[in-house]
């Protein structure tokens, strides 16, 4: 039977090691993660988003803040993330609270997006009913005329969220479903308590 996961004191360092390895096996979407949010009354929703930043402050993704997920995260600032790297037989679950990134962070990332993606952030009323595809195409064309060059300001409703972890679970596939599960729970003093879970 393979060895169990070695003990690593810092969950952020462990995550980065796993992410670096994931990129070698899934070069197109290793940063894809399931984001779970909920309304204030507890109605859940989940979708795939792309991780765009990870450090000891938390895990960042960008979206239309007026979308369903944006409204849920604003009204109920708790979220869960799930990374699943099937070729490696690994999962990482992260749970924590949510905060907005700074305007400077959002501006910097927005500037790196392709031109059409930046225009699309203006044209799309994300999560709202779209009567037909033609309407989206017409709106995009109108913004192409409004912003003909590369100088496209970031829409005020487009920004980023940061999930600040309070709990990590690292899951490693093992034979006979005797999986290895390591958890990190953040304490009141900011330190991490490390433990194992039955598979």
Show which residues are catalytic.
177
Beta strand pairing call for 53-55 and 158-172: unpaired
**Contact status, residue 69 vs residue 175, Cβ threshold 8 Å:** no
Residue 160 has φ and ψ, to the nearest 5°, of -125, 160
Cα 163 from Cα 77, distance rounded (Å): 9
Cα 111 from Cα 165, distance rounded (Å): 27
Cα 113 from Cα 142, distance rounded (Å): 19
How does DSSP assign 16-33, residue by residue?
HHHHHHHHHH-TTTTTEE
Task: Name the burial class of residue 133, with classes exposed (0-12), middle (13-18) and buried (19+) by CB atoms within 10 angstroms of its CB.
Answer: exposed
- Using alpha carbons, select from 125, 136, 16 the residue that is nearest to residue 71: 125
- Hey, what are 50's tokens? 């792309």
Cα 81 from Cα 197, distance rounded (Å): 19
């Amino acid at each position: 039977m393979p060895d169990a996961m070695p003990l690593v004191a810092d969950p952020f360092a462990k995550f980065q090691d796993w992410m670096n390895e994931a990129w070698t096996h899934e070069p197109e979407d290793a940063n894809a993660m399931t984001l779970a949010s909920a309304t204030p009354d507890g109605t859940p929703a989940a979708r795939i988003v792309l991780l765009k930043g990870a450090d000891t402050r938390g895990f960042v993704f960008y979206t239309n803040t007026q979308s369903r997920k944006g409204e849920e995260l604003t009204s109920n600032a708790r979220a869960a993330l799930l990374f699943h790297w099937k070729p490696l037989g690994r999962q990482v679950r992260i749970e924590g609270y949510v905060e907005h990134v700074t305007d400077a962070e959002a501006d910097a990332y927005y500037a790196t997006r392709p031109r059409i993606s930046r225009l699309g952030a203006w044209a799309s009323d994300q999560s709202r009913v779209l009567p037909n595809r033609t309407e989206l195409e017409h709106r995009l064309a109108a913004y192409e005329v409004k912003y003909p060059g590369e100088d496209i300001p970031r829409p005020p409703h487009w920004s980023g969220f940061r999930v600040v972890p309070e709990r990590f679970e690292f899951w490693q596939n093992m034979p006979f479903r005797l999986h290895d599960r390591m958890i990190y729970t953040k304490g009141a003093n900011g330190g991490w308590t490390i433990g194992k879970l039955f598979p």
